[in-house]
Chain A
């Protein structure tokens, strides 16, 4: 159960878009309908922003969107806002197990 691979950092100016990739394998992302993304602000618990690859929970801004192709999932934040500055983690089912990505720190310039 190896961690999924995410870039350590990403940035964009307010109003711009940023896309974060999450690369796994055929044992996790490639064979799962359950890829989710979590936002974590410093000192806080994570919060889901995307689930089942591309679904957005109620209350999450429609600026957040997700997609998947093969063994790679992606999270796009459009129209960056200052409050979007946070760490983002992908997570995939891998059979009965779960595996997280290493996390990406998003900075709003």
Chain B
């Protein structure tokens, strides 16, 4: 069974950094791009960016450029998303998603609270 398993909930202080992991199970991470999408409490989905596990190449939304780093470790079949200089506006559920021209598989989400 193919699934994405994400790291657990985190509490962070303003100004600090967060790093969420997303482990692919049942398939090879290099098969597709991994995207990161976040959802603030009571709000909609917001695309943050994506990483190509084969090349390490990334593309991020303009508002996160300079603050987000997306990486992969193919040896452990895991993708990572690090976000720096956190503010309360970064409080959200962070999802990783596998894309095959559309988001075919989603992780369960990781709640990050900045306070």
Bound-state CA distance A96–B58 (Å) is 10
CB neighbours (8 Å) of B106 from chain A are 45-47
CA A100 to CA B104, docked complex, whole Å: 15
Q: Are B103 and A48 within 8 A (Cβ)? A: yes
Residue B44, interface by CB 8 Å: yes
Q: A80–B108 Cα gap in the complex (Å)?
A: 26
**A103 CA to B35 CA, complexed, in Å:** 19
Interface membership of chain B positions 99-115, coded 1 if the CB is closer than 8 angstroms to chain A and 0 otherwise: 00111101111000000
B46 on the interface (CB 8 Å rule)? yes
Instruction: Give A68-102 as 1s and 0s: 1 = Cβ < 8 Å from B's Cβ atoms.
Output: 00000000000000000001010101001111111
Contacts of B37 in A (CB 8 A): 100
A-B CB contacts (within 8 Å), total count? 53
B102: chain A residues at CB < 8 Å are 34, 36, 48, 51-52, 91
- Interface majority SS on B: helix, strand, loop or mixed? strand
Please tell me the number of chain B residues within 8 Å of chain A, measured between CB atoms.
19
Instruction: Name the distance in Å between A14's Cβ and chain B's nearest Cβ.
Output: 26
Q: Decide: A100 near B103, CB < 8 A? Known: A1-B61, A1-B62, A45-B108.
A: no
Which B residues fall within an 8 A CB radius of A?
35, 37, 44-47, 50, 59, 61-62, 95, 101-104, 106-109
- 30 CB contacts below 8 A, A to B, read A1-B61, A1-B62, A34-B101, A38-B45, A38-B103, A40-B45, A45-B95, A45-B106, A45-B107, A46-B45, A46-B103, A48-B102, A48-B103, A51-B101, A52-B101, A52-B102, A57-B104, A89-B44, A91-B45, A91-B102, A93-B101, A97-B61, A98-B35, A98-B47, A98-B50, A99-B47, A100-B37, A100-B46, A100-B47, A103-B45
> Besides A3-B44, A45-B109, A97-B59, 20 other CB < 8 A contacts?
A36-B102, A45-B106, A45-B107, A46-B45, A46-B95, A46-B103, A46-B106, A48-B102, A48-B103, A48-B104, A51-B102, A57-B104, A89-B44, A89-B45, A91-B102, A97-B47, A97-B61, A99-B47, A101-B44, A102-B44
